[in-house]
Amino acid sequence: MARDDHRQVNTKVIEVSDSVALAKAAAERVMARIAANGDRVAICLTGGSSPKQLYQLFATDAFRSRIPWDRVHWFIGDERFVPADDPLNNMGMARQIFLDRWAPASNIHPIPTDTADPDKAARRYENELQTFYGAAQLDPARPLFDVVLMGVGPDGHTASLFPDYPAIEATGRWVVGVPQAHVEPFVPRVTLTLPALNSCREMLFEVAGSEKRAILTRVLDGENLPANRARSTGETIWLVDTAALPEHFRGR
């Protein structure tokens, strides 16, 4: 397989100075997508540490006053299979930072983790997504999400789609259970699949810090990694701070 096979097309890398600038740029992109859709908006959040500053911005007066909370729905791209109030819970983090203060409860769509196992949680969330979307088949002309936020892990995973795990190849499902994680935290996961995540107007990766440079080099070199197979049917943006960006990409 040629490494170039997985180089991203319709993808833009945007360099910003640091993690503060990155959160601001991400917030403005989300605001632009909300403004572009005068109807019901669907945003798929992500976990990990990368989006924390963005979520903190959404809680500030400057941003929360610009968000039409009644018509924005908040989903999550993957979840750690831990109780909703566990500090590791991805949606729990977003709820605590901004959602519970400003979003109507009926517009918050967490992946349930009070089910018997991750597969049952996946079935329930798939059902919730399909009910929201109004169909069980995705129509390329009508993306499921306005924005999908993403991060990248040290092994090239994104959401809970780990390299060489069956979930990355799932095509008939929108959400699947992942019995074991490939990296910390080693708890079972529930993840949206590529067809569901990719069905969006914009996919927005946030990558900051020098510790991400090694994996970002592999991604931008076009290696076959989950983060390279996640790409929007619309626009895919990699928002990257200077510390994370490989040298030969800087200042481009």
Q: Footprint of ligand 6PG on this chain (CB under 6 A)? A: 46-50, 78, 80, 90, 151-153, 157-160
Residue 250 CA, chain-centre distance (Å), reads: 24
- Partners of 16 in the beta sheet? 241
78 or 223: whose CB is closer to ligand 6PG? Answer: 78
- Tell me what percent of the chain is helix, strand and coil, each rounded to the nearest 5: 40, 20, 40
37 or 224: whose CB is closer to ligand 6PG? Answer: 224
Write down the least CB distance from residue 155 to ligand 6PG, Å: 9
Write down the least CB distance from residue 45 to ligand 6PG, Å: 9
Neighbours of 143 (CB within 10 A): 20
Write down the least CB distance from residue 93 to ligand 6PG, Å: 10
The Cα 250–Cα 74 span in angstroms is 33
Write down the least CB distance from residue 207 to ligand 6PG, Å: 8
25 or 39: whose CB is closer to ligand 6PG? Answer: 25
The Cα 118–Cα 101 span in angstroms is 28
131 or 180: whose CB is closer to ligand 6PG? Answer: 180
Cis peptide before 185 (omega within 30 of 0): yes
